[in-house]
Structure 1
Amino acid sequence: MERPASTARPSHHRAGSRDLRLFWWANAADGIGSQASGAALPLLLLGLGHSPQAVGLVAGVSTALGLLLGPLVAVPVDRGARKRVMLGSATVSALAMGGVAVALTAGEPPLGLVLAAVLVERFATACFEAAARGTVALVCPGPEQPRAIARLTAADQGALIVGPALGGVLYQAARALPFLADALSYVVGALCVRAMRADLTAPAPRERGEGPVREAAAGWRLVRSSPLLRLVLVWSATVNLVVVALYYGAVFTLQRGGHGGAVLGAVLAASGAAGLAGALAAPRVAKRFGAPRVVAGVTWLLVPLTAALATVVGAWAYGALFGLVCLLMPLASVILQARAIGATAPALQARTGAVLATATTGAAALAPVLAGALAERVSTTAPALACGVTLAVLAAHTSRRPVRGALAAEAVR
């Protein structure tokens, strides 16, 4: 069982800090490499003569595979295989992306080969993500977890800024380089995980008569029974859907205004930088104002900002509003992620995290479809208006007394 922060030995604290830094580097390297290859993959497929439909098929199938595998891998992870799964997954991903780089160096690889490598990498990445969930709870004392989550979120935001730009530069130099960089990032991740000294097993005791299906559903049962985890699921899925829909709304709006890819890239880079700043500020904001007030306040503030996006056509005005949305969102999301970790036993971290991740990823996959349908059948401003209405409903929910009480109770646990 995790030792309380007040009685932890200094040597344990130093070991935990070292392991947390290694885990941070593993995630940062993985994020930058994945963003670099992810930005180059559509360009590669189009450059090889494949249609936009084929590009969409690769993206859709790989996303669906991750949704299906996460909850399945979470069971052996929670039963003690966390470190082995992370090491094996990083190794397989490195081999898959390295294979793409070699194939591109040799000539024109067929679509089937590229698709197979991407699916293998997606399979391995889904396994790594499932195993990584809950690692913070095992290497970081409870009071330090919000700060750790903030740093990991900041790394994700930084990867959104650095990764695509790096991928574009490397692709211009040689089309195999982004995939080679992704392969090397997995090697870095594997080495960091291997160097961690903490016991990452946290095995879950199996109850007598509990079959594999019921064991896999333990995370869902916990989320369903916990008001706090239900709030995390609803809030994260809704806001993730909104942010992705607004991203596509930005594409539609800026295209309507005659702006090119450079302007869109600048807007997205600025929004990523704003998200990084929000993630770093989240622990201080939560400490000053309290979790219930921050979550409800941020959600209400997002409503007028999102609705205002429907009224602007200028690139920089749109970028400023979208940047404010991305600045505010991590202030609440970091708090909710830290609360979710604190409310979940170590032996259920992977399965509970898989439930939350499936909801948020599914919402992100649905968002482009909804945004495209609204933009085509109504107007290009319709996605932002719909997002504003959705956030207003969510804000009203976060302001309810039982919801605020659940956050306050977890904050003083």
Structure 2
Amino acid sequence: MGRSGIHANRNFLLLWSGNATSLVGFHGVRIAYPMLVLAVTGSPAAAGWVGFALNLPSLIFQIPAGIVADYSNRIRTLVICQITGLIAACLAAGAVAAELSSLALIVGVTAFIEGSVYVFVGLSELGAIRDVVSHAQRPAAFSFLEAEQPIAILVGRAAGAAVYGVARWLPFIADAVSYLYCLVALLLIRPDSTAPQKAAEPDRHSVRRTIADGFRVVWAEPFLRTSTAMIGLSNIVIQLVLLLILVELKNGGGPAWTVGVVLGAAGVGGVLGAAAAARLTTRFPPRNVYRGALWAWTALLVPMALSADPFVLAACWCGIGGVGVVSNVALTISRLDVIPEQTLGRAVATMALFCDGAVALGALGAGYLLSTVGAVATRWLALTAMFTLAAYASTRTTRSRDLPLALTSPDS
């Protein structure tokens, strides 16, 4: 791979552009799925179920996907994922275009499949990038990787909602095209640079020990225990706010693209947050960044509790996305300080199991809460819950091992 810059690394550019394009398509349908079910059924609870189906794989497959990423050829895993996602997207597009009577059930299944692809791709891509770049190129390569999510959220949500307004099946066709592009890009990668490493296949005992070690590290460290619980709770609140925005914008009668613009604002905030994160986490202790993030989220939920105006929602959602990225960087720094290097991957996978699982449960619970108490009460419940988390964190002891230092960026 030589000493040339990252822009001259053909394999990396193919890998990154393919996965980034696929991620844009995924975020497009991630907003189209609940919009579609909400339009077909008129039920926020049903929309919550499809959001649950999208996020449930994070609860089920997080650790298995990590084991696959460690013991399999990562490029081959990514290829299989793109083929699977392509089939699911085509199935969803066909079901929507044909207006099948079992449409809600079919899109629930395809949402689950696409959510599963998302989990396996996310864990394999990190190692695959390391496999195709030199050590000197890694900082630039991982900077590109860090930018994927906010860019995909911005472009995917805006485009997904816009084309949904033209035809309900169109976001799924665009999603299929993005899978196809990524598949072609992966197949063009030269195999001589992508054959890592294959570790010895684990036996049944070593797999059980691998999983148990991750849980043991998290449980034994007070900081990891507490922060994981706090992250999960905050992710539930964020999922509640996300579905609330969706329902209120639909009930407001505006064009479909408004939903994409408002929710895509989190991507704008994420890009700005990424630019500010290094300075903030260097200047302030991670503990202070954590507390500031919770109080910032609480403050941003106040205008959202008082108004359903799209401009207010977009501005606040932009801020939520930006604060999430900053706190995510602070958490990464903190984790590296307390987790032994030899168990880092397993411990992170264990925490992701709980934190991402909370996203799935939050999406499901949000639908039923909105159906039961309505939008106005839900706004104030979300604000109260976030305020409680911020107040709890601020009154905790200042001992670093007992205080959760930061939060992961919620999938806002």
CA distance, structure 2, for counterparts of residue 161 and residue 298 of structure 1: 21
Structure 2, unpaired ranges of 5+:
407-412
Q: Which residue of 2 aligns with 1:166?
A: 159
Any idea what the Cα deviations from partners look like across 1:367-396, whole Å, max 9, x if unmatched? 352696488289342321221111232355
Change (3 A) 1:203 1:278: same
- Cα drift, residue 61 of structure 1: 3.4
Task: Output the amino acid matched with 1:272.
Answer: G
Once the two structures are TM-superposed, the CA of residue 366 in structure 1 deviates from its matched residue by: 3.3
CA 1:325–1:98: 2 relative to 1, 3 Å: closer
Aligned equivalent of 1:411: none
Give, in whole Å, the separation in 1 of the partners of 2:5 and 2:331: 24
TM-score (norm 1): 0.74
Q: Within 1, Cα distance between the matches of 2:23 and 2:330?
A: 21
- Whether the aligned pair in 2 keeps the contact of 1:130 and 1:353 (CA below 8 Å) is no
Distance in 2 (alpha carbons) for counterparts of 1:336 and 1:91: 34
In the alignment, is residue 122 of structure 1 matched against residue 115 of structure 2?
yes
From 289, 299, 302, give the equivalent of 1:294.
289
Superposition pairs of residues 244-283 of structure 1, within 5 angstroms: 244-250=239-245, 260=254, 265-283=260-278
In structure 2, C-alpha distance between the alignment counterparts of 1:76 and 1:233, rounded to whole Å: 24
Distance 1:133 1:347, change over 3 A: farther
| Contact 1:74 1:216 (C-alpha < 8 Å) held by counterparts | no
Aligned match of 2:410: none
Out of 144, 147, 156, the residue aligned to residue 154 of structure 1 is 147
- Aligned-partner Cα distance in 1 for 2:240–2:217: 29
| Equivalent position SS for 1:401 | coil
Q: Write the distance in 1 (CA, Å) between the matches of 2:282 and 2:234.
A: 22
The RMSD of aligned alpha carbons is 4.4
Structure 1's unaligned 5+ residue stretches are 1-8, 408-413
* CA shift digits 1:264-315 (9 cap, x unpaired): 5543333431222112332343344454543444344444444565455665
Deviation at 1:333, TM superposition (A): 0.6
1:46-72 deviation line (CA, Å, top 9, x unaligned): 66x556355544443343244212222
Identify the residue that residue 409 of structure 2 maps to in structure 1: none
**C-alpha spacing 1:152/1:315, structure 2 compared with 1 (3 Å):** same
* Paired position in structure 2 for 1:74: 66
The question of whether the paired residues in 2 share the 8 Å contact of 1:133 and 1:353 is answered with: no
Contact kept, 8 Å, 2:72 with 2:198, in 1: the verdict is: yes
Q: Is the Cα contact below 8 Å between 1:74 and 1:131 reproduced in 2?
A: yes
Q: 1:405 to 1:298 in 2, by over 3 A?
A: closer
- Within 5 A, what are the aligned runs for 1:78-157? 78-102=70-94, 108=100, 110-111=102-103, 113-132=106-125, 134-135=127-128, 151-157=144-150
Q: Distance in 2 between matches of 1:143 and 1:108?
A: 53
Aligned-pair identity in percent equals 24
Q: What residue is the counterpart of 1:181 in the other structure?
A: 174
Rate the CA distance shift 1:193–1:231 in 2: closer, same or farther, 3 A: farther
Q: Work out the CA distance in 2 between the residues paired with 1:166 and 1:172.
A: 10
What do the CA deviations read for 1:244-274 (whole angstroms, capped 9, x no partner)?
A: 2333454677789x67466655433334312
Question: Is the 8 Å Cα contact of residues 232 and 336 (structure 1) preserved in structure 2?
Answer: no
Whole-Å separation in 2 of the counterparts to 1:55 and 1:115: 10
| Cα displacement (A) at 1:146 | 7.7
Q: Does 1:203 align with 2:199?
A: yes
Tell me the SS of whatever aligns to 1:11: coil
Residue 224 of structure 1 deviates from its aligned partner by 3.1
Q: Do the aligned partners of residues 345 and 183 (structure 1) sit closer, same or farther apart at CA in structure 2, a change above 3 Å counting? A: farther
CA deviations on 1:126-156 (whole Å, 9 max, x unpaired) are: 3323433555666678998787666434321
Mapped partners of 2:243, 2:31: distance in 1: 16
Distance in 1 (CA, whole Å) between partners of 2:47 and 2:294 is 34
| Pairing of 1:15-54 with structure 2 (within 5 A) | 21-45=13-37, 52=43
Normalising by the residue count of structure 2, what TM-score does the alignment of the two structures yield? Answer: 0.74
Give distance in 2, aligned partners of 1:90 and 1:341.
Answer: 32
Write the mapping of 1:201-350 to structure 2, written as runs, cut at 5 A. 201=197, 203=199, 210-226=205-221, 229-230=224-225, 233-234=228-229, 236-250=231-245, 260=254, 265-289=260-284, 291-307=286-302, 309-310=304-305, 316-317=311-312, 319-337=314-332, 340=335, 349=345
Contact 2:55–2:359 (Cα < 8 Å) also in 1: no
Question: 1:332 offset after TM fit, Å?
Answer: 1.6
Q: Which residue of 1 aligns with 2:391?
A: 392
Matching residue's letter, 1:184: V
Counterpart residue number, 2:381: 382
Once residues 392 and 141 of structure 1 are traced to their aligned partners in structure 2, the CA distance between those partners, rounded to angstroms, is: 45
- 8 Å CA contact 1:130–1:354 kept in 2: the answer is no
- Label 1:346 to 1:328 Cα distance change in 2 as closer, same or farther (>3 A): same
Q: What amino acid sits opposite 1:75 in the alignment?
A: I
Greater displacement, 157-166 / 56-65: 56-65
User: How much has 1:23 moved relative to structure 2?
Assistant: 4.4
Q: Is the 8 A contact 1:151 1:279 kept in 2?
A: no
Q: Secondary structure at the match of 1:76?
A: helix
Q: Which amino acid in structure 1 is aligned with residue 147 of structure 2?
A: A
| Matched-pair contact (CA < 8 Å) for 2:97–2:169 | yes
Cα distance, 1:372–1:280 mapped onto 2, change above 3 Å: farther
Q: What's the offset of the Cα at 1:33?
A: 0.5
